[in-house]
Chain A
Amino acid sequence: DGGITQSPKYLFRKEGQNVTLSCEQNLNHDAMYWYRQDPGQGLRLIYYSQIVNDFQKGDIAEGYSVSREKKESFPLTVTSAQKNPTAFYLCASSIGIDIANTEAFFGQGTRLTVV
């Protein structure tokens, strides 16, 4: 089955710790995205990547880092510099290069809680 997989589904972190959220896709998509969603709110873009070894900051990149060493993988690290990391994190991918076809496919999300 083709799709996009996020893991883990739930993640608990102590204050001061870095934590990495996994996102893997086997759709052969070039573009991948990380969004943050807070309760009752829309999605805010953290980072995005159009091609391997290249990524761009989104609207709320502070306190986060990413890598894109492989086409199918786009892990997100929530660092201790992120002041309010408790949120629902969504990863997505899309064909990307053709700007007329940007249907995004989403993973099921990771709920991060700082304890």
Chain B
Amino acid sequence: SQQGEEDPQALSIQEGENATMNCSYKTSINNLQWYRQNSGRGLVHLILIRSNEREKHSGRLRVTLDTSKKSSSLLITASRAADTASYFCATDARSGGYQKVTFGTGTKLQVIP
């Protein structure tokens, strides 16, 4: 089963607007990451936030983490057409003594020029 679920499933905004995507997860985590995927390509890592952090910035990206609500949000400010992609959250999880990364279902973002 999926650990994380993104909301909304799809988002369409005008260039220059801000885009906010949310991720909810079920079990305790050590860290949470956000990835981007252009259509038909591999995923690219955007940002990692640890469980003891509440907010992190990277360029036009701002990520928040609320471990009490088991949720995270990704904000892209001043969006550009090139930001059009799918965005996934990913959480680490221990399973039978092993560590693995599990991904949510993604938010498909379209930025209209």
- Interface of B, helix, strand, loop or mixed by DSSP: strand
Using C-beta atoms within 8 Å of the partner chain, give the interface range for chain A: 20 to 34
Number of B residues near A (Cβ < 8 Å) is 30
A76 to B94, CA, bound (A): 23
- Find out whether the CB atom of B99 lies under 8 angstroms from the CB atom of A96: yes
Q: With contacts defined as CB atoms under 8 Å apart, how many contacts are there between chain A and chain B in the complex?
A: 72
Q: Does A2 contact B (CB under 8 A)?
A: no
A80 to B45, CA, bound (A): 33
Q: Does A114 contact B (CB under 8 A)?
A: no
Q: Does A90 contact B (CB under 8 A)?
A: yes
3 interchain residue pairs of minimum CB distance? A106-B42, A42-B105, A43-B103
What is the interface of chain B, defined by CB distance below 8 A to chain A?
1-2, 30-31, 33, 35, 40-45, 48, 50, 88, 90, 92, 94-96, 98-106, 108
What is the interface of chain A, defined by CB distance below 8 A to chain B?
6, 31, 33, 35, 40-43, 45, 48, 50, 56, 58-59, 88, 90, 92, 94, 96, 99-109, 111
